[in-house]
Amino acid sequence: MPLIVKIDCPHCHTKSSGFQVEGGFRRSSDLISRRDPAVFIDEDWFLLSCGRCKKCITAQYISEHNSHRELKNVLSQHGSLEDIGYTYKVHFPSEVTLEEPEHLPSKVASPFRQAISNISAENWDAAGTMVRKALDVATRDMARTRIGNEKRSETIVKLWLKKRIEALTSEGLLTVDLSDLAGVLKDGGDEAAHDDEPYSKEDAIRLVGYAQAFLTYAYTVPGMVAEVRERVEDSPSSNTGSRPTD
């Protein structure tokens, strides 16, 4: 649909991101007959997708007009919602909460918690720096715990972070996408720690969100799989050798 609005994205934190209207729901339409001239007041909710990260929000808009108009006719128009008489009220989610992923080793969780705390305290440089430390500790932990050859493991642990990421990718412990994401975390953390200019709020929030995603794929998903496998192995059907039927 060609209708576009500008809203700060709560997911990727892009300022005044262009959101495309994907659909809508009319909550109410009231005729105020005692006004001169009489007007219709519509309360409509729209599903909007961010032009940058493609994630969605819902937003409430109000419009006043002199004749009844169907929502389906609104959705077929071009331009922005403001151009066709809508006034923005609120959107959800307004802010995405950063949370610690599950199954993190304590030594990895500690710097990531500090990154989140620094976001709350608006210490943007410190938040970015702690993201880099969380990545540094996580990649050393992955080398120590997921590579069977102890000599190879310690060799990778001692590498500089960039080379360590490349080595973990070669070992098959990081996918290409996760390796690229790790590179983004490293570069962002380096910028926050060493650049002359202050690290921005938007970049810090975005970087901590990326770190949350990286740690989720690196630790939470394998942890969940291990839990499922353990439950299956401990189930009565597993112990008796029976198989589920189709």
203: tokens are 């970049």
The average pLDDT across 21-34 equals: 81
For residue 196, the 8-state DSSP code is: S
Pick from 99, 4, 21, 16: which is nearest to 56 by CA? 21
- pLDDT of res. 231: 82
Work out whether the CA dihedral 62, 64, 70, 74 comes out positive or negative: negative
Instruction: For residue 66, give the amino acid letter.
Output: N
Instruction: For residue 149, give the amino acid letter.
Output: N
**Cα 140 from Cα 168, distance rounded (Å):** 10
The average pLDDT across 178-195 equals: 96
* Residues recorded for the chain: 246
- pLDDT of res. 96: 65
Is the pLDDT at 167 greater than 70? The verdict is yes
Distances (CA, A) of 223 to 17, 47, 73, 150, 166: 35, 34, 49, 22, 23
Is the pLDDT at 156 greater than 60? The verdict is yes
Is the pLDDT at 2 greater than 90? The verdict is no
Residue pLDDT, tens place only, 120-148: 788 999 999 999 999 999 999 999 999 99
**Cα 9 from Cα 20, distance rounded (Å):** 12
- pLDDT of res. 237: 63
- What is the residue-averaged pLDDT of the chain? 88
48: tokens are 């909007």
Is the pLDDT at 41 greater than 80? The verdict is yes
- What percentage of the chain exceeds 70 in pLDDT? 92
Instruction: For residue 51, give the amino acid letter.
Output: G
- pLDDT of res. 67: 77
Q: What's the half-sphere exposure (Cβ side, CA atoms, 13 Å) at 245?
A: 0
Is the pLDDT at 238 greater than 70? The verdict is no
Q: Which residues, listed in sequence order, are joined to residue 162 by a DSSP beta bridge?
A: none
**Cα 195 from Cα 213, distance rounded (Å):** 25
**Cα 156 from Cα 153, distance rounded (Å):** 5
Query: What angle do helix axes 201-215 and 176-194 make, rounded to 10 degrees?
Result: 140
Give me the residue spans of the domains in the chain. Answer: 3-92, 106-234
**Cα 229 from Cα 83, distance rounded (Å):** 55
**Cα 239 from Cα 246, distance rounded (Å):** 20
Q: Which residue has the higher pLDDT, 152 or 69?
A: 152
Is the pLDDT at 29 greater than 90? The verdict is no
**Cα 224 from Cα 24, distance rounded (Å):** 36
- Which span out of 7-16, 34-43, 87-96 was modeled with the highest average pLDDT? 87-96
CATH topology classification for 106-234: Four Helix Bundle (Hemerythrin (Met), subunit A) (1.20.120)
